[in-house]
Amino acid sequence: MKTKPPQIFVKGKPLGVFILFSAQLLVGAIHVFFGLLLLSFENFSFLPLTVGYDVYTFFFGLLTLIFAVYIWRSNKVGWIGTIALSLFVIAADSLTLLNLPSIPGIPEYPAFAEIGYSIMVIGYLSLGHVRKRLLR
């Protein structure tokens, strides 16, 4: 007879959900901050190509924060939105690394880390017990 390992809860949520929520809040806050910072120092007189990246950074951070709250509330929207956002990041960063058309201005140096993080998020959210908890 198999026994289940004890599950650790933090504030009524499984430890993994708490860690994902915290990480997503951090990622979202960093992107919103730097998106606003980049936009505030942008020279809009000739609309350089990096405006797309600045806007993308801000809205990516904002959506990440919103979906993190939905994940914390065990809402289906958080699961779907986080998976979709992670898939988008994987696609955009992969196109950038392959020197194919993507969002102008995406830097190549953090792309590997962003792809790896997004794969881990998708992997965790795809676990049966997590998916069942968030998709009810």
Question: What domain range includes position 108?
Answer: 11-134
Average pLDDT over residues 57-82: 95
Three-state DSSP string of the chain: CCCCCCCCEECCEEHHHHHHHHHHHHHHHHHHHHHHHHHHCCCCCCCCCHHHHHHHHHHHHHHHHHHHHHHHCCCHHHHHHHHHHHHHHHHHHHHHHCCCCCCCCCCCCCHHHHHHHHHHHHHHHCCHHHHHHHCC
Q: Answer whether residue 70 is part of any domain.
A: yes
* pLDDT score at 39: 84
- Sequence-distant (≥ 6) Cβ neighbours of residue 79 within 8 angstroms: 70, 71, 125, 131, 134, 135
Mean pLDDT of the residues in the chain: 89
* pLDDT score at 92: 93
Q: Which of 108, 97, 121 is nearest to 19 (CA)?
A: 121
Average pLDDT over residues 33-49: 75
Q: Answer whether residue 5 is part of any domain.
A: no
Q: Answer whether residue 3 is part of any domain.
A: no
* pLDDT score at 1: 60
Percent of the residues in the chain that have a pLDDT greater than 70, as a whole number: 93
* pLDDT score at 101: 87
Q: Answer whether residue 91 is part of any domain.
A: yes
Average pLDDT over residues 107-133: 92
The answer, yes or no, to whether residue 32 has pLDDT greater than 80, is: yes
Q: Answer whether residue 4 is part of any domain.
A: no
The answer, yes or no, to whether residue 46 has pLDDT greater than 70, is: no
Number of domains in the chain: 1
* pLDDT score at 89: 95
Q: Which of 79, 57, 64 is nearest to 22 (CA)?
A: 64
